[in-house]
Structure 1
Amino acid sequence: MISGEPHDPLGPALLDARSPSWAVTAAAGRRLAVAAREPGVAPVLHRLLLDDQDTAVTQETAEALLERWDVHGLRLVLAALAVADDDTGDHIDSALHNICHQSREDEARLRALASELVRDGDPGVSGMAREILDG
């Protein structure tokens, strides 16, 4: 179980995710993205993706999740994008562009992952996945 305790391997990153420093928080988002499937990490990542203090945290966390190139990382990004305000959504869109639209191969990989999410139980996620496929 992930508790944010120092003996927990992810504890330091979970603690840093609450830092008042945007740079520390953004770095925590990157570190936590690799452990996105661990219990308790997804809600922290969701909060970082929707960070209302600094969009650099949003973009760094989104890019790290997208760099996983898996359904779970994309799902977390799309769930945040579905509820993000315009400014935050712009930074999540920038992350999608920076990571997933650099080549035709990247775009094909993104479409393949999105095709798995169009039937997701979260209507926000499935709607965002559909937008990727229709775009």
Structure 2
Amino acid sequence: MPEKTSGWEAALTEASSPSWTRRVRAGRDLTAFADVPEAAEALVGLLLDVEDTAVTRQTAEALARAGKPAAVRLIALAVAEADDNQADWLRTGVQDALAEPDGVPDLAATCRNLARDPEEAVRRGAADIWAWADATGC
């Protein structure tokens, strides 16, 4: 009898799917596991997706909406590595989350905390995200 895969394992598998819609779904599904190393690695890959900007945008939105330090830290890491086009889509995803009626109330506070992260790339990326939130009025 074939072994069933868990939702977690299925999401990891979908993160490398050739289908952009499956990669978007994986980004949303893995957001809850942003503090788990395997998921974090897959999420950064989705944030920096070279094949479809929708994957970048929607994964950034899901992580920003989660608002947890581990999730925002991954966006910050991606921002530090992103080319200009990817950075634009990461910004759009974060701003999409901020535009929601509930917004992301603790995003600025999370970015302030990440500004003290030991990793320089996280500090740089968090500063950019903080500026995006500030420009949005959040």
**Do both share a fold (TM > 0.5)?**
yes
Contact 2:27–2:46 at 8 Å: present in 1 too?
yes
1:15 aligns with 2:4: no
Partner of 1:114: 111
Give the count of matched residue pairs: 130
Amino acid at match of 2:23: T
1:46-57 matches, cutoff 5 A = 46-57=44-55
Partner of 1:127: 124
Contact 2:31–2:43 at 8 Å: present in 1 too?
yes
Show CA shifts across 1:19-54 (max 9, x none).
111011111111011111223111111111100011
1:1-135 matches, cutoff 5 A = 6-100=4-98, 106=103, 109-131=106-128, 132=130
RMSD over aligned CA atoms reads: 2.2
Return the alpha-carbon distance in structure 2 between the equivalents of residues 50 and 9 of structure 1: 23
4+ residue segments displaced more than 6 Å: none
Mean Cα displacement is larger for which, 76-85 or 118-127?
Answer: 118-127
Q: Which runs of 5+ in 1 are unaligned?
A: none
Return the alpha-carbon distance in structure 1 between the equivalents of residues 55 and 85 of structure 2: 13
Give the structure with the higher percent helix: 2
Alpha-carbon distance change, 101 to 118 in structure 1, aligned in 2, over 3 angstroms: farther
Q: Identity over the aligned pairs, expressed in percent?
A: 35
1:11 is displaced (CA, Å) by: 1.1
Contact 1:79–1:125 at 8 Å: present in 2 too?
yes
1:6 is displaced (CA, Å) by: 4.5
Contact 1:115–1:133 at 8 Å: present in 2 too?
no
In the superposition, the TM-score normalised over structure 1's length comes to 0.85
Q: Which runs of 5+ in 2 are unaligned?
A: none
1:7 is displaced (CA, Å) by: 3.2
Return the alpha-carbon distance in structure 2 between the equivalents of residues 51 and 17 of structure 1: 10
Mean Cα displacement is larger for which, 5-14 or 61-70?
Answer: 5-14
